[in-house]
Structure 1
């Protein structure tokens, strides 16, 4: 999941960049600190060299006693000096019997170099040459480089906790920056969800500049989809209307054949024409389904009452006991005409098979609205019940009755993004419709 998350990829790449930058900064600061410490050490060694120059006495005739300094009295202390005037070579007690190599410098020259110490350690050495009378006075002062290394390590030890704290703060700031920067994408997701829920018609243009091209492409896609759906419905409607007149003429011809005594041929023509007419009626109904009306809402109680009032006027409907429970105040996200047509087909089917009672129950659930229609008839054979539950099955091909009505109901419920379920209630058939609730 994290590998596919744009937010985590940006945060992790930012964290890697920050840590790399802080690591390079630590190395750079350590190098600069080391150079600074070395410059300070060279300056200190140069000052000590000038102190040793005071050993020259009698205008350069001889060397006197060296200045007292405990650093140079302890053997192998890491602090050494060595001077030479003519053939007179003096060394600090710390060198013991070790002699440092000295370069042939011209008077006034200074050389900073790294030498090997009496125990093989690396020494930072400053060598100077002075003109004293007719002789050259050479001074070499050295210190162990390990002290410089320890100073650098101590500096890094003090620096790393602060760098770690700074890195953590920068990573948090980077995460906050990424979250704020990606917030418009969450807004896009919210608007797409609103489109799906029917709360918006289009994405709109009041979005950040970087996101507007995406929103425009989505709106263009929605426009093209709406146009194509409208054309498809119009073509289906035109085709169905085009068939109605020839089919009506066929039924008229069947009547003429019957008048002439050709009943078998008339029955065959009427059967074929009636079957085709049912198909045409179904396509007309499907063309009217509001599959793209995301903001439509229907009053469930009003739709149920309207259908029952019509069915009460039929010969059998007046003798049936109609029961309606829980429908008041419920709003479903479906076109009112579509809901009325679906309820009409289902209640007419229930009326046809009921013995004396049809019950309609509507309940609001967390998942939406559940409509249940139950009759007290014989129910449906298990094999046929399974076929009724198949999505998209054209039961109207078997003849009059529930076939075309249930097929249209399945199309309406599917267009409203709902669910249709059939089961035997013992007695009777129980039809359950699940619809999305309208947005308040």
Structure 2
């Protein structure tokens, strides 16, 4: 393991903070409770952090709400929680540094379903522990991570954690470097709200790239993303000609519902497609809501994107059977027209974002971007003919594996 990364400045305030209950796996498991509220933070930033190493090789990276973090060397042993950070490390060719990951038996296979289409890119997840199962200081000490890609503002919402625990782990193990609430632009609890900033997925990726001194890989991948988004948005039809769509997860007798076009990197795969969100005017107490079949029938979207449908957590054949066997569900336009699609993961990083944008484009606008191929549960991301691909797989694989 490399030299321990050194935290030189903390924005951690010493004011006490009430501990909030966690809803980490809400939306995966069907739990809709969430402590977050509508964002009132300090705004967004489109700037990506850069840093030039000093003569002794040390360098600094910056992220809100942590502040500036100095590193003696590139981290070799890295704590990750949400899967976007693991995907970022794979994109930077540092996937072998990951020492933990949220629900690895769901996320790991799902990530590799995408990586299968990138020659030489894969991720070893089988032996990784799930931090959510043991979110204790003892667990953090046992991992002995060089850096924790984790937002301290989120960490203090967990049971038995407060700012002093964050400081202890940062001082004795390794610094924190993460930003959670940019996912939905929801509001962090005190004492972090005043120092908070919101980032896009790709701006957040840029800051992580600085930690690993991989700005060149980051800039090249960002160019691929920008080209993909520009290509799609140039060809989008007028708003009135776009389909109505919902992003949902089917539960027992109800649909867990999510927005398509709101701010936040959790929507970085649907927002660029700008479909007409059938529930776009709805405001929920938490980050998502739930509706019954009758409400879904009233909205009657043209397209149903089933979140987590390409993960081992859901069987899309069963999902479709539930819909077609229900007296109301069977009458939904998306069901009758065979436009209920397996969708990706909400916690997705840059590589997954490329694939999930392409996927969503084909599911929403097949006449423009080519039809989405048939997908069977457990399959890898479908092979798409090269002339129908919306980004160059070989180019992405080359950037990751060769730099």
TM-score by length of 2: 0.20
User: Which structure is larger by alpha-carbon Rg, 1 or 2?
Assistant: 1
Structure whose residues are more often strand by fraction: 1
Structure whose residues are more often helix by fraction: 1
Report 1 or 2 for greater relative contact order, CA contacts < 8 Å, sequence distance ≥ 6: 2
TM-score by length of 1: 0.19
